[in-house]
Amino acid sequence: MRYAGPDMDAVLLHVNGEAREVLDVSPTTTLLEYLRGPAGLSGTKEGCAEGDCGACTVVVIDPDAPGGPRFRAVNSCLLLLPLLHGKHVLTVEALSQHGGQHGGQHGGDGPGHHPVQQALVAALGSQCGYCTPGVIMSMFEACYRGDLDAPWKLDDQMCGNLCRCTGYRPIREATQQIAGLRPDDRFGAALAEVGPSTSATLRYAFEGRGGTPSQSFWIPGTLSELWDLMDAHPELRLVVGATDLGLDVTKKGERFPALASLQAIAELRRLEHADGRWSIGATVRLADLEDATAQALPPMARMLRFFGSRQIKNSATVGGNLCNASPIGDLAPVLLALDATMVVAGRSGERRVPAGEFFVSYRSTALRPGELFVRVELPDPPANARVVAYKVSKRREMDISAVAAALRVDVDGGVVTAARLAFGGMAATPARARAVEAALVGQPWSQASCDAAAERIGDDFTPMSDHRGSAWYRATVAGNLVRAMFDDTSQCAMPGLPDRPTSMVGTAGSSSVHHP
């Protein structure tokens, strides 16, 4: 078997332009631990080690992004070091010429600093300074993005960076100043130098010592290599963005013995929309899915708006979100409503599973041993469909849903002919509200029908109480979503979102609602 044998690779990565070879660290070492430890770069901070504060934000050049290589702000606290194999990482230390070491009481000012640094200092966007390196790196991505053309996109870009001191106004203003600036500088040049795809394969082994276990990490280049690995290592865990698996490492201290990243398998990151069908590969990053669906599939884009921070959307993948089979899994309700098909594959070939049969039970899917979820396929909603997606959480940005929903009705001649109302956060798995659906089908499409159907939500779900919301709250909101969908789809069958909505619910009539 190809990966057997003692000849293992080193992890090769570039940090701030400098080539580094890593041989002797555990593959569950996070990028942050590596930066602050062996790399000696203490500018990047740990604020939470769960991808929720952004103090650890660094920028990685993604050579495989749609449209060519680009900078991505990511949480270094969750990324496992081997995932950076063959990649370029930029930390806050890279931005100042000469490392910002020139003197002066204020730690140096003027020409040595990058425009994002200048802007944040001038705006007094740092007080204690601990979130600042992460803020700077999110701003850095913003600086080289060409599409930050609406106020909500600034929120989206920066919401993954918590600041406890400033109240954000200066951070927002500084970001606004530099967004899309794309200076003609050494960073732009470095980006241009990166080839379209440098997907590097890896076989990495770490000998356990002093009580720590031996661990292996692979980056296979093809599916057939992956099948070999899965056969040889039944304990193999798959990883790409590590936004979920990374938590097991940082919070529970897990030291997985065998890990494989799917990042180098090109066919898994394909995202296609042709002939009325979508095909979305397992390793498509959520940020890219959001971009691709913004105009063409509003329910998906709606759900992705407040899905997570920019950093998380830059790392997390479609497959990761679906295969961890969270009871909430914000994408799942959308797929259920849009009647998607999950395509899974193994050595013997592909198998198609309707989305409704994929989520078997709490955190469990229909995947069999030796199988991989490879893509999801779904048709464009028909012309008679009205579809709207909702996410309700304690905090709008960067929070897990209390209730997520994707609601679809097909209406012919003013009568509901079909209904697919899918909810997350209401049961052990994402699930459809069959009783509510039944109450709608055959009824005239009206507010009264929605109101009546909403009363049936208790027949479908007995939600739980937790820190995100009580059972009462979940049930009440779920019913209210059903009530709201009539108005929300009255002007547009598949509404987008206003710029900075108070809620995703009941926003019909807002002037900036998308009309396809």
Partner 1 sequence: MKNQAPPPSPLHQPAIHESGYRHVSGQARYVDDWPLPPGTGHVWVVTSPHARARIVGCELAAARAMPGVRAVLLARDVPGSLHIGPIVHDEELLARDEVLYVGQPVALVVADDLAAARMAGAEVRVEYEVRPAILTIEQAIEAGSYVAEPHVIARGDVEAALAGAALRIDGEVRTGAQDHFYLETQAALAIPGEGRTMTVLSSSQHPTEVQAEVAAVLGVGRNEIVCEVPRMGGGFGGKESQATPFACMAALAAHVTGRPAKVWLNRERDMRITGKRHPFLGRYDAGLDADGRLVALSVELWSDAGFSADLSLPVLDRALFHLDNAYYVPALRLCGRACVTNLPSNTAFRGFGGPQGMVVIEEILNRAAERMGIDPAVLRERNYYGEPPRDRAPYGQEIPWAHNRLPRIHARLMESSGYASRREAIAAHNAASPWQRRGIGFQPVKFGISFTKSVLNQAGAFVLVYTDGTVQLNHGGTEMGQGLHTKMLTVCAHELGVPVSAVRVMTTATDKVPNTSATAASSGSDLNGQAVRHACGILRERLRAVAARMLELSEDQAAALRFEGGAVVHPGSARSLAFPDVAQQAWLDRVSLSATGYYHTPGVGYDHATGQGTPFYYYAYGGVVCEVEVNGLTGEHRMLRVDILHDVGSSLVPTIDRGQVEGGFVQGVGWLTCEEVLVTADGHPVTLGPSTYKIPAVGDVPVDLRVELLPQAEQPGVVHGSKAVGEPPFMLALGVVTALRHAIGSFGPGEVELALPATPEAILRAVQRQRGPSTT
Pairing relationship of beta strands 415-424 and 431-432 according to DSSP bridges: antiparallel
Which of 95/297 has CB closer to partner 1?
95
CA distance 142 to 179: 5
392 by Cβ neighbours in 10 Å (0-12 / 13-18 / 19+) ranks as: buried
- Minimum distance from residue 374 beta carbon to partner 1 (Å): 29
Could you tell me which of 368, 343, 365, 339 has the C-alpha nearest to residue 353? 343
Q: Give the Å distances, CA to CA, from 288 to 76, 294, 318, 361, 476.
A: 20, 10, 10, 29, 33
Which of 30/201 has CB closer to partner 1?
30
Could you tell me which of 54, 71, 125, 120 has the C-alpha nearest to residue 311? 54
Residue 268 is classified by DSSP as G
Which of 339/455 has CB closer to partner 1?
455
Residue 197 is classified by DSSP as -
- R_g of the chain, CA atoms, integer Å: 23
Which of 36/269 has CB closer to partner 1?
36
Which of 334/484 has CB closer to partner 1?
484
- Minimum distance from residue 356 beta carbon to partner 1 (Å): 26
- Minimum distance from residue 426 beta carbon to partner 1 (Å): 14
- Minimum distance from residue 223 beta carbon to partner 1 (Å): 33
Residues paired with residue 281 on neighbouring β-strands, in sequence order: 375
* Structure token pair of residue 164: 């406890």
Region class of 466: left (phi > 0), else alpha (psi between -120 and 50), else beta: beta
- Kindly report the number of other CB atoms within 10 A of residue 116's CB atom: 28
- Minimum distance from residue 6 beta carbon to partner 1 (Å): 25
- Minimum distance from residue 251 beta carbon to partner 1 (Å): 7
Listing DSSP states for 391-419 in one string gives EE-SSSSS---SEEEEEEEEEETTEEEEE
- Minimum distance from residue 299 beta carbon to partner 1 (Å): 18
- Minimum distance from residue 143 beta carbon to partner 1 (Å): 13
Residues paired with residue 203 on neighbouring β-strands, in sequence order: 218
Which of 159/409 has CB closer to partner 1?
159
Name the helix (H) or strand (E) containing 74: strand 70-75
In 295-414, the DSSP E strands lie at: 341-346, 349-354, 359-361, 364-365, 372-379, 385-392, 403-412
Which of 175/293 has CB closer to partner 1?
175
Which of 84/405 has CB closer to partner 1?
405
Residues paired with residue 344 on neighbouring β-strands, in sequence order: 351, 373
Which of 202/249 has CB closer to partner 1?
249
- Minimum distance from residue 125 beta carbon to partner 1 (Å): 8
- Minimum distance from residue 460 beta carbon to partner 1 (Å): 15
- Minimum distance from residue 416 beta carbon to partner 1 (Å): 21
Q: Give the Å distances, CA to CA, from 243 to 113, 147, 149, 314.
A: 31, 25, 27, 10
Q: Give the Å distances, CA to CA, from 218 to 24, 82, 203, 238.
A: 15, 8, 4, 10
Alpha-carbon dihedral sign for residues 365, 466, 315, 246:
negative
Which of 201/250 has CB closer to partner 1?
250
- Kindly report the number of other CB atoms within 10 A of residue 265's CB atom: 24
Which of 284/484 has CB closer to partner 1?
484
